[in-house]
Amino acid sequence: MITPLLVGREGDWPFAGHFRGRLGPVAFAGCVAATAGPEAAWRAGRAVESALRAGGPPQADRRRALSILWARLDGVDRDALGPERGADLALLLLATDAEGTAVSGAGLGGLWALWGERAEAWVTPPHPLLGSPGLPARRPGVLTVAQAPPFLVASEHLRPVDLAGVRRAAVEAACGARG
C-alpha cells in the first residue's frame, strides 16, 4: 500500500492544518488553513478529512474512487475551511486496485518517490497534476501507473522544495511521519 505524505512548513506550527488518512484502497494527505493559527487550522483540516471519510471507503476502481472523493469535497462547508475558505488547500489523493495506482491532487508543487533510501523526483512542473491551491472548480485529472513507490511525497504549490537525493529519514521527518 502506498503512503502519501505532505511536507510541513517552516515555523512554530509546521503541520498546522495537515491531515492524512487511509480508507481501504484510497489514501490522502493534505493541508488547509495552515496560516490561520493552530486551532482554526486543526478544525479546517478535520473538516476536509471528515468530508473525505463520509460514506466510508469508495467501492470502485481506482479512477472512480478518486472521482468519488472529489465529489465528497464538493459538499464541504467552505466556511469550515478557515479564513480563505479552502483557497489554500493542498491535497494528494491515491487509489489502488489490482491494475495499479491512480494519483490526483490540487495545490501541489512537486511529487517525489521514496523507493529506497533517497527521494527521487517523480512528477515535476509543468506536469498537469501540479498546480494552484484550492478546491478545484473542475475535477482534477488522474495519473495512472502500474507501479507506484511505497511513499509518495508532495510539496505545496506555494512552497516548492527540492527533495531529490534527500535521505528517507529526513523526508519522513519533514512530513511529520514517524518511521
Q: Is residue 29 part of a domain?
A: yes
Q: Is residue 162 part of a domain?
A: yes
Q: Is residue 133 part of a domain?
A: yes
Q: How confident is the model at residue 179 (pLDDT cuts 50, 70, 90)?
A: low
- pTM score, two decimals? 0.96
- 79-116 pLDDT, tens digit per residue, is 999 999 999 999 999 999 999 999 999 999 999 999 99
What's the rounded Cα separation, in Å, for the pair 81 and 108?
Answer: 18
Q: Is residue 159 pLDDT above 90, yes or no? A: no
What residue numbers bound the domain in which 68 lies?
3-174
Q: What single-letter DSSP state applies at residue 78?
A: G
Q: Is residue 57 part of a domain?
A: yes
The pLDDT of residue 125:
87
The pLDDT of residue 83:
94
Percentage of residues in the chain with pLDDT exceeding 70? 99
CATH code, domain with 126: 3.60.40
131, 107 contact by CB (below 8 A) = yes
Mean of pLDDT values over 27-47: 96
The pLDDT of residue 64:
97
Q: Is residue 179 part of a domain?
A: no
Q: Is residue 141 pLDDT above 60, yes or no? A: yes
Q: Is residue 93 part of a domain?
A: yes
The pLDDT of residue 1:
82
Q: Is residue 163 part of a domain?
A: yes
Q: Is residue 15 pLDDT above 90, yes or no? A: yes
What's the rounded Cα separation, in Å, for the pair 4 and 111?
Answer: 10
Mean of pLDDT values over 48-73: 96
Q: How far is CA 67 from CA 59, 86, 87, 158, in A?
A: 11, 19, 20, 25
Q: What's the total number of domains in the chain?
A: 1
